[in-house]
Structure 1
Amino acid sequence: MAHDDPRSPADADEQLLEVFKALANPVRLQVLRWLREPGRHFPVEEALADPREVGVCVSHIQAKTGLAQSTVSAYMAALQRAGLVRSTRVGKWTHYRRDEDRIAWLVEVLGRSL
């Protein structure tokens, strides 16, 4: 299903609820904010790949949050299910970046819904 063409208002509502659930956690909300400017918030010089292209390594997110790797992975999975981030594998590492097109679509749907 295309981001800008939900099958029904109920589908859009369901997607918005998934987003609200993901963002209800303050750490997940903060991580999403950090990912907006990865070069400012994460050690780019230690990155295996360009964080603007492939995202930020989960280990860097873990270090910045101070949380267990399993917790960070679960948080990132929730953000991914909500369509707010995309993951990319680089070797054995998973990198995350914001899905800006999806976020813009969600803002538009939210504006029409409320």
Structure 2
Amino acid sequence: MLNDEQAVEIFKALSNQIRVNILQILKDPDHNFSTQAHVIREKGFDGGVCVSDIRSRVGLSQSTTSQYLSILLQSGLVEMKRIGQWTYYRRNEVTIKQFEKYIGQKI
């Protein structure tokens, strides 16, 4: 279960519509993005999406997209993996489920 401090960090991350949109589009990467060739070769990171593809989808600069992804990573809502020169992100479903449970029990 999440503690109050972790939940506050998640609430902060979710206080921006674009970050919420990023989580929404990462929920179904097969539908929202093209095949991520490098992830297929790397076992254990299914559903990961390259930063440049996320940037294209949300229509922001590379630096702003990276900053938003960093905030989502720090809150635990996404996971990151570097594969070669590329950085991939996917939703952290464990944390999202824990946050759901936190809200149900504490709020």
- TM-score in terms of structure 2 length: 0.89
**Aligned pairs, number:** 103
What does residue 49 of structure 1 align with? 39
Q: Percent identity?
A: 41
Deviation at 1:21, TM superposition (A): 0.7
What does residue 9 of structure 1 align with? none
Deviations, residues 40-94 of structure 1 (Å, cap 9, x unaligned): 11112x54223x6150000000111111101000000000111000000111111
SS at match of 2:101: helix
Contact kept, 8 Å, 1:47 with 1:57, in 2: the verdict is no
Structure 2 residue 64 is matched with structure 1 residue 71: yes
What does residue 22 of structure 2 align with? 31
What does residue 9 of structure 2 align with? 18
- TM-score in terms of structure 1 length: 0.84
5+ residue gaps, structure 2: none
- 1: CA distance, partners of 2:100 / 2:83: 30
Deviating 4+ runs (over 3 angstroms): none
5+ residue gaps, structure 1: 7-11
2:48 maps to a residue whose letter is G
- Using CA pairs below 8 Å that are at least 6 residues apart, which structure has the higher relative contact order? 2
